[in-house]
Amino acid sequence: MRPILEVSDLEVHYPTPRGPLVAVNGVSFALQPGERLGLIGESGSGKSTIALAIMRLIKPPGEIIGGRIHLDGVDLLALSEEAMRQRRLAEVALVTQGAMNSLNPVARIRRQIRDGMRAHGLKLSKSAFDDRLAELFHLVDLRPEVAELYPHELSGGMKQRVCIATAISLRPKLIIADEPTSALDVVVQRRIMQTLDRVQGELQSAVVLIGHDMGLMAQFADRVAVMRAGVIVELKGVKELFANPSHPYTRLLMDSLPSLDQREPSPATAGVTTTAPPLGNGAPPASPVPVENAR
């Protein structure tokens, strides 16, 4: 099968007074249709730069120095600016961490989604658009009334759902989700990821999930690429990666995840009693606060 996305020897530089900063240093990977790739790394590893390079949204003076990016066989780096603009959203969509800030504060949600579709060549009649909107909202678990609201009337999770709905409005072949949930609470994060999971299953788009949370990768990705200082240090199937991390940096990332299964008997915590009364004047409540008081 022909890969939907093929990135080879990608190199991105940001010039600085002290010579170029190499943000991405010869990165290659490929994605099959419908596949989910996790791209994990810490700040400055180059993971977001890869997302921007695929979208061809690297801001000057940053520059793609070398390499190729093929989306469904088309060389993205060879396209004219207009041809690339048309492909954004229609074929490759980006959902970012601050997606909530990318909504227009003075336009109703309905108009924002319609504008996106129109700008990328899909002009629907009012009733056809309404049908499509209902379908999209159903997919991302939003109530239909949300279409008539303004962004400030939505919670963070709802805004992120709107952004996902916008991203999938033209059924792109590839969705790049760059830290889509890092600004959200854990409970909301799980629900958003479930939505992304369902949407991906429905559309069969390929997804690149960019993040820093190993737990999220374990729960979502088919394969995981670990990035550090502009290079991929390890790339393999998610089960294989967790069972058998071969690069020391991958192991470091895994070891730094605090476990909920076991309190590690680290020298610091060993020998600490947990029975002393920190709450109130008397003994700590043995059971949680009674529900009447907890109202």
Partner 1 sequence: MSTLLELRNVTKTFGGGLFQQSEKVALRDFSFAIDSEKPLITAVVGESGSGKTTMAQMMLGLETPTSGEVLYKGQDLRHCSRREKRSFRRDLQAILQDPFGVYNSFYKVDHVLTTPITKFGLAKSRDEAQHLIEQALLAVGLRPEDTLGRYPHQLSGGQRQRTMVARTLLLRPKVIVADEPVSMIDASLRVTVLDNLLQLKREFGISLVYITHDLATAYQISDHIIVLYRGDVVEAGNPEQVVKHPEHPYTKLLIGSIPLPDPERRWGDDLIDGNGGNVEHLILESAERAGSLRP
| 279 makes contact with partner 1 (CB under 8 A) | yes
Q: Residue 232's CB: how many other CB atoms inside 10 A?
A: 23
Structure tokens at 165: 């709905």
Beta strands 19-31; 63-71: pairing state? unpaired
What gap in Å lies between CA 153 and CA 148, rounded to an integer? 10
189 makes contact with partner 1 (CB under 8 A): yes
**Piece in contact with partner 1 (CB under 8 A), picked from 27-35, 67-75, 77-85, 276-284:** 276-284
Among 65, 218, 229, 233, binds partner 1 (CB under 8 A): 218
* Whole-Å CA distances, 240 to 2, 152, 221, 233, 257: 24, 43, 12, 15, 18
Q: How many CA atoms lie within 13 A of 152 on its CB side?
A: 3
Q: Which of 17, 60, 105, 288 binds partner 1 (CB under 8 A)?
A: 288
Is residue 85 at the binding interface for partner 1, with CB under 8 A as the rule? no
Q: Minimal distance in Å, beta carbon 163 to partner 1?
A: 18
Under the criterion CB under 8 A, does residue 142 sit at the interface with partner 1? no
Residues 196 to 215: which contact partner 1 by CB under 8 A?
212-215
**74 C-beta neighbours (distance < 10 Å), count:** 13
Residues that bind partner 1 (CB under 8 A): 42-43, 156, 185-187, 189-190, 193, 212-216, 218-219, 238-239, 242, 252-254, 256-260, 263-264, 266, 268-269, 272-281, 284-289, 291-295
